[in-house]
Chains A and B, each alone.
Chain A
């Protein structure tokens, strides 16, 4: 199973939908809610996202692939579901 991790916001409904998608597919994932993180973690997240020219949440990492935004079709394709 590919490793899935994501940066999210606790206020973002699309982030909630993204977490729900992976949970319903029984795909384990890690996440950090940017808005609830400490300042150093927030800076690291922004740097990570800027490196990928991303600016919106959710920011999903599936192994080495990045998906910015709620895109269940792409998540499924990358996971081979």
Chain B
């Protein structure tokens, strides 16, 4: 499978999963394409499409929380930001993802 075909497959799969969670792909198509490509490369390396913006620690319990789409593991945090940490997904009502900052969990009052 080529990188492009895997990106399309992940897009197809992720779209259904995140829709049920109230999210959609970021309208920033260039960003979405870049992030998906990174995930395909991470999947080639590790066997799993990990988040490109969170660390893989090789501790299974942690690493399972950064498998894309990782929204269920960070639901309150991401709902507060209206985006996931890497920005691949945003709340369905978001039209301008550039206005959504990354807010560290430690600054949300949720931790």
Q: Give the residues from 43 to 81 in chain A that come closer than 8 angstroms, CB to CB, to chain B.
A: 45-46, 49, 52-57, 68-71
Question: Chain B interface mostly helix, strand, loop or mixed?
Answer: loop
How many chain B residues sit at the interface, stated as a range, is 20 to 34
Contact A15 B106, CB 8 Å, known A53-B111, A56-B85, A69-B101? no
Decide: B52 and A12 in contact? CB cutoff 8 A.
Answer: yes
Residue numbers in A under 8 Å from B34 (CB-CB): 13
* A35 at interface by CB-CB < 8 Å: yes
* Count: A-B pairs, CB below 8 Å: 64
Decide: A9 and B102 in contact? CB cutoff 8 A.
Answer: no
Residue-wise, chain B 80-111 has the 8 Å CB interface mask toward A (1 for contact) of 00000111000000000000011111100001
Query: How near does chain B come to A20, taking the closest CB pair, in angstroms?
Result: 14
Decide: A15 and B53 in contact? CB cutoff 8 A.
Answer: yes
Decide: A34 and B106 in contact? CB cutoff 8 A.
Answer: no
Decide: A46 and B53 in contact? CB cutoff 8 A.
Answer: no
| Closest chain A residue, CB of each to CB of B107 | A68
Residue numbers in B under 8 Å from A31 (CB-CB): none
List residues of B whose CB falls within 8 A of some A CB: 31, 34-35, 38, 41-42, 52-57, 85-87, 101-106, 111
